[in-house]
Structure 1
């Protein structure tokens, strides 16, 4: 029996993502799947591990491991926002892209520079665009 790949015809319910991360041999299929799923979500969707577990059979620990893998390989970044008066963390932000940072730098995960955060002009999560 011949093998084949079958695809659904394009319509409104699809996401265009880069093949770069899908073909990155440094990423596990789990990390590729997580990034693919996140890229399918709306642009304004906030990434919460607890919410991701609601849409998967994987537990939070598995999702955190896959996220860490994406961070190590330059596809994701976690940044903490600190209140300058109290010096307490007020929010953790998570960002993803379907390509590595163009400058090749690893994301600042362990000790992000909160005085001068790297906000760059990275392209992030774009889905369901009807026209460009």
Structure 2
């Protein structure tokens, strides 16, 4: 039987063998558990952060995390304070004690922040500008109310209205991470951009928008609007540069030689046969 020799180094991690010997776990889940177990308690435990430290990608990492959670080695709870989603708390166990857990704040398919859903929610009109200089006080109050309304919005409700599924197993943890990183107003803005610009609003389009915001360190709606305007301008420039050139059709008469005949080719008319008049 082949044997292996181990060379122990510093910086090792002490880990119970239970998850490593669990034949119901994939190698991905086992390796992921060992990696998470090696990190300190104050480490940034988010799927998007974990995915940065391997080549698997977000989707594969999310699958491994969900597998550990389903097997009972991981429990994730989402803080919900005053209707605003806060940090998620990850609890790891070397024994599968969280199998079929009942979390303190379970996240259902219809997550709610305590505000009732209405069939005709109030829409924010951003197209109308107040040009009345005598109404500055009311304008400022309206802006404050709008900002407060955006802060109170529930991204899950906005996504449901747009018909985008953010609650499936692979989507939910990633969506919650973006809520934590970008905040409710910016995530809601991304959902509306997806709803307005995508022919068929879906999770893939929304994920691209959210990744773009995070990659450009966008943290406010104003910055997001500026970034969106910049992309639109660049897109217009590319379309103008790549536009096909239309060649005009020349008329039939163009190119024909209408110049007078030269002297060398000119022939005088033959009048020898003409009848002379009688005197």
TM-score (norm 2): 0.35
Q: In the alignment, is residue 88 of structure 1 matched against residue 78 of structure 2?
A: no
CA deviations 1:7-56 (Å, max 9, x no partner) are 122x5310011111111111111000100111111232131112212211
Task: Give structure 1 stretches of 5+ with no counterpart.
Answer: 115-132
Runs of 4+ off more than 6 Å: none
Query: In structure 2, what is the Cα distance between the partners aligned to 1:30 and 1:12?
Result: 24
SS state at 1:95 partner: strand
Post-superposition offset of 1:105: 4.3
CA deviations 1:73-127 (Å, max 9, x no partner) are 10001101011x3x221222222122221xx64234xxx323xxxxxxxxxxxxx
Identify the match of residue 27 of structure 2 among 26, 29, 33: 29
Identify the match of residue 113 of structure 1 among 104, 112, 120: 104
TM-score (norm 1): 0.71
Contact 1:15 1:40 in 2 (8 A): yes
CA RMSD of aligned residues (A): 2.0
The structure richer in helix per residue is 2
* Greater Cα shift, 88-97 or 15-24: 88-97
The structure richer in strand per residue is 1
